Amino acid sequence: KTCQCGSNLALHCYHVTAFVWYHSLSKKASILSYNNKIYSVSIGNNKIYTKTYDTKWHTVSINEFADTSNITNIDLIEVKGNLYLLESQYEKIAVYQFYDNNWKEITKLSDTNGVSGYKKYNDELYLTNIDKSGKNIEIFKLENDIWKSIKKYNCNNEFVGDPKIEIVNDILYSIN
């Protein structure tokens, strides 16, 4: 299938599409521009597959992972010059840092139903999370590799949906 990327970008778009299609068989994937390369991760078969692309794809690492069957989402994000992986499951949201070609878990939230939203702002990472009951939302900021609670909302015994974060004029908004 041809991408609608423009003549100069078509080749890059084709390769990215082919790579993501191939690794979509192994479950979840994410992609990000970092240090003048494209980084891609996919998770499946109890492994994290990390690749980079400059002029062609290179396998950087294949790391063992305890269990990939309950993962609901993964996202790559760069904060303060470091590469992070946010991994959501029904019972936890974990943050991994990429260091020496390996992923190291630095923190996690346990009171979650696996549904969250995140936003990078002023080189800081914010997360909105729905608790296990599905009726409360909490907003966190990653500080010194620990999630610090900023605000908790009780949603009046109503189930909440898919939370999102946006920041406008230095004011953080969260919807669900």
- Please state, in angstroms and rounded to a whole number, the distance separating the CA atoms of residues 72 and 46: 14
HSE (side-chain half, CA atoms, 13 Å) at 174: 23
What is the amino acid identity at position 167?
I
C-beta separation of 167 from 119 below 8 A: yes
Torsion sign over Cα 132, 134, 138, 144: positive
- Looking at residue 103, its pLDDT comes to 94
Strand partners, 83: 78
Question: DSSP character for 18?
Answer: H
Whether the CB-CB separation of 94 and 114 falls below 8 Å is answered with: no
User: Do the bridges between strand 116-121 and strand 102-109 make them parallel or antiparallel, or are there none, so unpaired?
Assistant: unpaired
pLDDT computed for residue 26 by the predictor: 43
Specify the pTM: 0.77
Q: What letter does residue 80 receive in the DSSP assignment?
A: T
pLDDT in tens, 117-174: 888 999 999 988 877 777 778 888 999 999 998 888 777 766 667 778 888 888 887 7
- The mean predicted confidence, pLDDT, of the chain is 79
pLDDT at 72: 82
With a cut of 90, say whether residue 111 has pLDDT above it: no
